Amino acid sequence: MIDPKINIRSKSALSAQVNNHAGIALADSAVQTRAYELFELRGKIDGRAEQDWYQAENDLRACQQA
């Protein structure tokens, strides 16, 4: 779930971005954007790209279900 304290974007903006894709599959661009936000929040430290991608997918799915 997205922590509102550290989220760069608003939950509603993420939700709208995900819902624009008709819920079929998460758009890679939306996941990529969120994964990069997570990377930035960790201080741009390399080595967790897969974990950031997975977390981004989970965050976006949570917004989609809300």
Q: CA dist 20 to 3, 25, 41, 44, Å?
A: 22, 11, 26, 29
Report the pLDDT averaged over residues 49-65: 91
Q: Kindly report the three-state secondary structure assignment for every residue of the chain.
A: CCCCCCCCCCHHHHHHHHHCCCCCCCCHHHHHHHHHHHHHHCCCCCCCHHHHHHHHHHHHHHHHHC
What confidence tens digit (pLDDT) does each residue in 3-41 have? 544 555 555 555 555 555 445 466 888 999 999 999 999
pLDDT given at position 5? 46
Residue 38 tokens, joined: 């997570």
Domain ranges of the chain: 11-65
